[in-house]
């Protein structure tokens, strides 16, 4: 018991440290992942500050942590509001498209509170290891109109370029209000998470509290069942729901108002690299920008979201396949990862890069070389470039 309690205390220290545990000093303006959009009024600033506190809050057993979980706080998975490392990673599992919700799926929790056995993974399941993605800029992504995203679709490859992005249409949970983007009856456009299997921010946040930390809310009021305990929440004596809807919605607003970092310096090499990026057809999937629609928050209305993604699914070939469907996404399809903030990845992760959905690529060069499927032609063109052009392209990516 003392060993487990000590382990949890160490985890609490790591979770509470956030980005400070991997950065040696505070980043300058424009180089942070945790800054609000410019020009917020007092009311939105107050909500942002409260949501920030929620995001950093380290939960204890006495507050409802677990009984099975992945981390102690939102920031524990998303240090500094950026992407996680393999240390914070987790895996999703299913069997032939069945999410196995009665057997611990679709997400494996690798930790448990004292007195509760660790979760065992059912035999013969498909597993997909994933790094927690960055959470900045999600309000801009949410504000992009559906029709703007669908305009980038080409599921039948009518133009014959080998690139055929398509939307992931998903059902939102009943608790997502129709007034929220991605909520309501019928199929909704998925735009969040690695396979675009989430349509609404409130779903993303409520499910993260529930699945990642084991914290119930008014949106998901029942504990994540422990498959080895017959679904009983052993050891967790805190009445459910453990946090109110207001806490979840404050955290949703915090994520919605997080600003993406500024672009880096525009040098001659960066400009050359951008031209190479376009010539190699990288921009066919990593669309440089999309414009948001009208929004009640002026800072999200009519903005150019420079995310470098079309938010669509693309077949990335067998090398990157996890062979596990998710929603309408196949085992070889992934949502195009936004590239904004790429220049700061290594700075926020102790000088190391962890690229692609599972962090397998320590450098951008290796990440490009892992591309296949619809990106195979672009990958081969990159490999065939002169060294100066390769370096220019990498400099451009390193400026985003």
Any idea of the CA torsion for 308, 250, 293, 338, to the nearest 10 degrees?
10
- What would the pLDDT profile of 236-292 be if each residue is shown by its tens digit? 889 999 999 999 999 999 999 999 999 999 999 999 999 999 999 999 999 999 999
Boundary (domain end) residue, out of 256, 276, 310 = 256
Q: Any idea what the CATH number is for the domain that residue 303 is in?
A: 1.10.760.10
**pLDDT averaged over every residue in the chain:** 90
Q: Are residues 341 and 303 in the same domain?
A: yes
pLDDT of 14 above 80 = no
Looking at the chain, the whole-number percentage of residues with pLDDT higher than 90 is: 78
- What would the pLDDT profile of 247-256 be if each residue is shown by its tens digit? 999 999 999 9
The average pLDDT across 63-77 equals 95
Residue 202: pLDDT band with limits 50, 70, 90: very high
pLDDT of 378 above 70 = yes
* Number of independent structural domains in the chain: 2
pLDDT of 372 above 50 = yes
Spatial separation of the C-alpha atoms in residues 79 and 302, rounded to whole Å: 29
Q: Are residues 198 and 314 in the same domain?
A: no
Residue 87: the pLDDT is 87
**Residue holding tokens 């084991």?**
214
The average pLDDT across 114-133 equals 92
Spatial separation of the C-alpha atoms in residues 346 and 12, rounded to whole Å: 24
Q: Are residues 85 and 126 in the same domain?
A: yes
Domain for residue 150, yes or no? no
Of residues 196 and 233, more confidence is placed in 196
Residue 335: the pLDDT is 98
Residue 234: pLDDT band with limits 50, 70, 90: confident
- CA neighbor of 166 nearest in space, from 332, 357, 369, 381: 332
Domain for residue 33, yes or no? yes
Q: Which of 25-34, 128-137, 285-294, 347-356 has the highest mean pLDDT?
A: 285-294
Q: Are residues 205 and 88 in the same domain?
A: yes
Residues of the domain holding 314? 268-397
Domain for residue 286, yes or no? yes
Domain for residue 182, yes or no? no
Q: Are residues 248 and 317 in the same domain?
A: no
Residue 230: the pLDDT is 66
Q: Are residues 251 and 294 in the same domain?
A: no
Looking at the chain, the whole-number percentage of residues with pLDDT higher than 70 is: 90
Contact residues for 116 (Cβ-Cβ < 8 A; gap 6+): 66, 67, 68, 226, 229, 234, 235
Contact residues for 72 (Cβ-Cβ < 8 A; gap 6+): 8, 11, 12, 15, 58, 59, 65, 213
Residue 24: the pLDDT is 43
Residue 124: pLDDT band with limits 50, 70, 90: very high
Instruction: Flag the least confident range among 95-104, 153-162, 177-186, 365-374.
Output: 95-104
The average pLDDT across 294-300 equals 97
Contact residues for 253 (Cβ-Cβ < 8 A; gap 6+): 44, 47, 48, 51
Spatial separation of the C-alpha atoms in residues 33 and 56, rounded to whole Å: 14
Q: Are residues 135 and 205 in the same domain?
A: yes
Contact residues for 261 (Cβ-Cβ < 8 A; gap 6+): 30, 31, 32, 33, 35, 136, 340, 341, 343, 344
Domain for residue 183, yes or no? no
Boundary (domain end) residue, out of 206, 228, 256 = 256
- Please give the C-alpha separations between residue 187 and each of 65, 169, 325, in angstroms, as whole numbers: 33, 6, 17
Domain for residue 32, yes or no? yes
Residue 85: the pLDDT is 81
Residue 198: the pLDDT is 97
Instruction: Flag the least confident range among 40-54, 80-94, 249-263, 385-399.
Output: 80-94
pTM: 0.91
The average pLDDT across 167-182 equals 96
Residue 29: pLDDT band with limits 50, 70, 90: low
pLDDT of 364 above 90 = yes
């Amino acid at each position: 018991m003392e060993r487990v309690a000590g382990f949890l205390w160490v985890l609490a220290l790591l979770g509470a440290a956030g980005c400070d545990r991997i950065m040696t000093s505070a980043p300058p303006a424009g180089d942070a992942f945790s800054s609000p959009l410019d020009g917020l009024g007092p009311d939105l600033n107050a909500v942002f500050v409260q949501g920030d506190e929620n995001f950093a809050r380290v939960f204890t057993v006495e507050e409802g942590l677990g009984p099975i979980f992945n981390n102690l706080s939102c920031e524990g998975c998303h240090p500094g509001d950026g992407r996680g490392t393999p240390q914070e990673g987790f895996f999703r599992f299913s069997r032939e498209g069945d999410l196995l919700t009665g057997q611990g799926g679709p997400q494996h929790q690798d930790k448990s509170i004292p007195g509760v056995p660790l979760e065992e993974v059912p035999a013969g399941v498909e597993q997909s290891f994933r790094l927690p993605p960055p959470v900045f800029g999600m309000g801009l992504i949410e504000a992009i109109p559906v029709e703007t995203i669908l305009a980038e679709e080409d599921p039948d490859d009518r133009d014959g370029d080998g690139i055929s992005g398509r939307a992931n249409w998903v059902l939102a949970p009943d608790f997502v209000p129709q007034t929220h983007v991605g909520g309501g009856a019928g199929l909704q456009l998925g735009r969040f998470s690695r396979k675009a299997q989430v349509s609404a921010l409130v779903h993303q946040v409520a499910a993260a509290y529930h699945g990642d930390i084991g914290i119930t809310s008014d949106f998901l009021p029942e504990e994540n069942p422990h498959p080895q305990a017959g679904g009983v929440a052993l050891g967790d004596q805190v009445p459910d729901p453990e946090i109110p809807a207001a806490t979840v919605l404050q955290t949703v607003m915090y994520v919605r108002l997080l600003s993406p970092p500024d672009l880096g310096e525009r040098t001659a090499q960066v400009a050359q690299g951008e031209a190479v990026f376009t010539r190699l057809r990288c921009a066919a999937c990593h669309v440089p920008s999309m414009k948001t629609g009208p929004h009640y928050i002026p800072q999200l209305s009519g903005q150019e979201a420079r995310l470098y993604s079309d938010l669509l699914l693309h077949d990335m070939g067998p090398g990157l396949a996890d062979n596990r469907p998710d929603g309408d996404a196949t085992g070889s399809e992934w949502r195009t990862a936004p590239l904004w903030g790429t220049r700061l990845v290594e700075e926020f992760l102790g000088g190391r890069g962890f690229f692609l959905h599972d962090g397998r690529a320590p450098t951008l060069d290796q990440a490009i070389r892992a591309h296949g499927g619809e990106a195979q032609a672009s990958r081969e063109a990159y490999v065939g470039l002169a060294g100066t052009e390769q370096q220019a392209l990498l400099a451009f990516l390193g400026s985003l």
